[in-house]
Amino acid sequence: MITVSNLCFQYRQPIFEAFHWHAERGERWAVLGPSGCGKSTLLMLLAGLKLPQRGEIFIHGERVVRPRPQTGLILQDYGLLPWATVRENVELGLKVRSFYGADGIHAPKEPARLQNTDFWLERLGLTAVADQYPAQLSGGQRQRTAIARTLLLQPDLLLMDEPFSSLDAPTREGLQTLTLELAEEQALTLVLVTHALEEAALMGNNILLLSQPPNRQAQVIENPNAGRPGYRESTEYAALCRQLRALLQR
Ligand code: ADP
Ligand code: MG
């Protein structure tokens, strides 16, 4: 699904140097590392919003040279339009796509199909607030609106950059569980960036650990039982958190 090959990327300072990484279709990855290590940069590269100076990124065998329509991207600050209702915000991505087309150049001949809006509003628990504006919503509802908007576009790959870090703990836990359910239901490949080791341990069946740049080698930790019922309370989860804490303190 995702192949990162010999990736070199730098701003003024190098962030990735001859970096390799591979993720299979349907896998759920957490990308964990301290602030400034290059997590967001990696996500922007995967999204096709930044391009490597050397090396390649392939998704489904196709080289990423621009944003691809089947990649969904969700950021911390939601990116909602303040003057549009929840329903209008959810429909926004599809309307943009119907105007510019899946390739961003050619408008499709068929008009946008918006019949899935109600399904996604319902699935994300937004039906009751569909006609409200973002300022009237809680942080959790705003993030669920952003998720609904992205899933309406039927992505096969979902990239999330610290999506829950500004939410209170109960809301965050609810959205973590919901995201795992949605990834399963929609057969998504998930790449979730976080600086919180507990979140990485909870959400990632594989954890990609980045360190102070430049990142040369991917350090991967397997976590096959993440997402199983009761995992949050398990001794395995607690042990993994201890392991990750020690690795991050090195
Ligand atoms: P993370 O998401 O892990 O906190 P980033 O990928 O945002 O890290 O940034 C990695 C490093 O690159 C940081 O040192 C950051 O200051 C730097 N950086 C990020 N974006 C830019 C930019 N547009 N120009 C110059 N330096 C940047
Ligand atoms: Mg970041």
Residue nearest to atom 21 of ligand 1 (CA): 11
Whether the CB of 10 sits within 6 Å of ligand 1: no
- Please give the pLDDT value at position 41: 97
Residue nearest to atom 7 of ligand 1 (CA): 40
Angstrom distance (rounded) from CA 53 to CA 105: 25
Q: State the ligand closest to the CA atom of 36.
A: 1
Whether the CB of 71 sits within 6 Å of ligand 1: no
The span from the first CA to the last CA of the chain, in angstroms, equals 31
Whether the CB of 9 sits within 6 Å of ligand 1: no
- Please give the pLDDT value at position 198: 96
pTM above 0.75, yes or no: yes
Maximum CA extent, the chain: 56
CA-nearest of 96, 101, 104 to 149 is 96
Whether the CB of 31 sits within 6 Å of ligand 1: no
Residues 195 and 31 sit within 8 Å (Cβ to Cβ): no
Q: Is 48 left (phi over 0), alpha (psi -120 to 50) or beta?
A: left
Per-residue pLDDT of the chain (250 residues; tens, 9 = 90+): 999 999 999 999 999 999 999 999 999 999 999 999 999 999 999 999 999 999 999 999 999 999 999 999 998 877 899 999 999 999 988 877 766 666 666 555 554 455 689 999 999 999 999 999 999 999 999 999 999 999 999 999 999 999 999 899 999 999 999 999 999 999 999 999 999 999 999 999 999 999 999 999 989 999 999 999 999 999 999 999 999 999 999 8
Residue spans of the domains in the chain: they are 78-154
In degrees and rounded to multiples of 5, residue 142 shows phi and psi of -65, -45
Which of 32, 41, 195 should be mutated for ligand 1, with most atoms under 8 A from CB? 41
Say which residues have a Cβ less than 8 Å from residue 34's Cβ, sequence separation at least 6: 195, 211, 212, 248
Whether the CB of 208 sits within 6 Å of ligand 1: no
Structure tokens at 213: 């740049």
Lookup result for tokens 């993994």: 240
- Please give the pLDDT value at position 79: 83
Structure tokens at 115: 């019949």
Lookup result for tokens 């594989």: 206
Angstrom distance (rounded) from CA 207 to CA 146: 24
Distance 38 CA to ligand 1 centre (A): 6
Residue nearest to atom 25 of ligand 1 (CA): 11
- Please give the pLDDT value at position 100: 62
Across 51-166, where does the E strand assignment appear? 54-59, 62-63, 71-74, 157-161
What's the DSSP call for residue 20? E
